[in-house]
Amino acid sequence: MSTVVAHCYRNVACRWICHLFGFAVPLLMAAPQQVLGAERLSIGSLSLDWPDGYKSERLGDAVILRGPSDERVIISYVRGRNHFAKDQRERFARMHSIYALRTLPDMAARHGVLVQALETTHLRDGTVIYSIASQMQHATRESYYVQYFVVGPFSIALFKIEAEGETIGQKRRFDRLFRSLQWNETRVSAQIR
C-alpha cells in the first residue's frame, strides 16, 4: 500500500475515533431525564421553551421529538461533573469548540447545501450555542436540517432538527427558542447524591 493511501486511511480512522471518543462514548454513559411539558422542554439539567404539539420517544440514549408537521428533532445530552477545576473547564470548552467547528459543518454538508454558516452565540450565563443550517431542494419542496450544539458549564446537548419547509425562517424560529435556554446544574447534582 502506498504512503499516500495509508495516510488517507489513517486520517479517516483517526476522524472516526475522535467522533467515537469525543461524543458517542459519553452519550452511552449519560442518563438524560426527559419531561416534555406544555411550553417547557427539560432534559437533564437543560430546559428551554418549546412549542406545543410534539410527541416524545427514545432511541437508545437519544430523545426524539416529532412535531405536528412531521418535524423530527433528535436530542443527545451528556452530563458532566459539577466540580471541574478551572483548567478542566477551559479544556471542556476548547474540546467542544473544536468538535463544533469541525463536525457540525461536515454533518450539515451531508444533509444538503449549507445556507447558514456556523454561528456562535454566547448567553449571559456562559452557555455557548453553536448553530448551522442546510437545505435540500426536492422536485416540488424544500427541506431543512438545522443543528444546535449547546455547551453549558458542565453539560452538553446536540439538537438535530429536520423537516420540510423554508430553511432560514425555521432557523430564526428555533434561534428564538434557544435564547430561552437555562441550565440547572445544582438540581441534577442534588438528585444524584
Give CA–CA dist 109/88, Å, rounded: 32
Is residue 187 assigned to a domain?
yes
Is residue 7 assigned to a domain?
no
Name the range with the highest mean pLDDT among 1-15, 103-117, 172-186: 103-117
Question: Does the pLDDT at position 29 exceed 80?
Answer: no
Residue 22, classified by CB atoms within 10 Å of its CB into exposed (0-12), middle (13-18) or buried (19+), is middle
Please count the structural domains in the chain.
1
Is residue 25 assigned to a domain?
no
pLDDT tens string 109-156: 999 999 999 999 998 888 899 999 999 888 788 899 999 999 987 789
**DSSP designation for 139:** S
**DSSP designation for 16:** H
Is residue 10 assigned to a domain?
no
Is residue 139 assigned to a domain?
yes
Q: What is the CATH number of the domain that holds 144?
A: 3.40.1000.10
Q: What's the predicted TM-score (pTM) here?
A: 0.73
pLDDT tens string 49-76: 898 889 988 888 889 999 988 899 999 9
Is residue 21 assigned to a domain?
no
Domain residues for the domain of 84 are: 32-192
Give CA–CA dist 100/22, Å, rounded: 11
The CA-atom distances, in angstroms, between 183 and each of 39, 53, 114, 150, 151 are: 16, 23, 30, 10, 10
pLDDT tens string 98-111: 999 999 999 999 99
Is residue 180 assigned to a domain?
yes
